[in-house]
Structure 1
Amino acid sequence: MVRKTLNTSRWKRLRNYVMARDGYRCQESLRYGQSVPAEMVHHIYPVREYPELEFVAWNLVALSNYQHNKMHNRNTDEITKKGKEWQKRKKREFEKFYSTPPLKN
């Protein structure tokens, strides 16, 4: 099921930003010395579990469809070993996001 937010201008702007930030290249393929065009932007920490991270740039990475299919099981939607590796890489940002005290008025 496609989330409604994927059709918003907010998402489209963020997606374009992430694609440009990542040089329009699949970041997983680059790890192995392959320059492959990125076809989509992946949420490292899934929106279904962390909806507050849907529009957070550090939680997004440009990937090819091939590499994206390796990030989570397409039948169960469970995060794969490869997907967990990306989560481990972003652990510092994740912990900082959740440890930041709320702003006082």
Structure 2
Amino acid sequence: MPSRPKKPCSIPGCPNLTQGRYCEQHKHREQQDKAERNRYYDEHIRDQKAREFYHSKEWQRVRQAALMRDNYLCQDCLEEKRITPADVVDHIKPVRWFWHLRLALSNLRSLCHAHHNKKTAEDKKKYGEGRVKNF
């Protein structure tokens, strides 16, 4: 299969052609753009209380305990008879709606990224996407 045709680099005035957004010379801009988008999202969109919670020592301690309990393996993959490392600790009952269960080990489940995305989509259907203003 032929590769995609090259297009001009996204930096104005750059004569280089690339298959991505930026040429090799300006590739570092991609990480800078992503960091800036994340910073904007954190400051203006993300829920401040939830952000503080996920950076707290209490959460880090309970998260580590959940991973250790689950042997650092995705629990949904295990049910499907597959072994996949867990990279996310998910709240079974979402923190937005069940703030009081945020540190309950019984409300935590270690998941791989794919299963976490699937679970989050199911939660959005079940609970809605809106924010809860007061926890």
The answer on 1:54 being equivalent to 2:127 is: no
Percent identity, aligned pairs only?
A: 30
The answer on 1:78 being equivalent to 2:125 is: yes
1:79–1:34 Cα change, 3 Å: farther
Greater C-alpha radius of gyration: 2
Instruction: Name the structure 2 match of 1:97.
Output: none
CA-based RMSD of the aligned residues comes to 1.9
What are the Cα deviations for residues 20-76 of structure 1, in whole angstroms up to 9, with x where unaligned? Answer: 0000000000001100000010000011111100000000000001000111228x8
Deviant stretches of 4+, over 6 Å: none
Q: Tell me the TM-score normalized by structure 1.
A: 0.69
Q: Distance in 2 between matches of 1:19 and 1:58?
A: 12
How many aligned residue pairs are there? 79
CA displacement at 1:77 relative to structure 2? 2.5
The answer on 1:20 being equivalent to 2:46 is: no
**Does 1 or 2 have the higher relative contact order (CA < 8 Å, sep 6+)?**
1
Q: Distance in 1 between matches of 2:126 and 2:85?
A: 23
Instruction: Name the structure 1 match of 2:36.
Output: none
SS in 2 for 1:61: strand
1:68 to 116, 121, 127: 116
Q: Distance in 2 between matches of 1:15 and 1:44?
A: 13
Structure 1: gaps spanning 5 or more residues: 81-105
What one-letter code is carried by the residue in structure 2 that aligns with 1:77? K
Structure 2: gaps spanning 5 or more residues: 1-45, 128-135
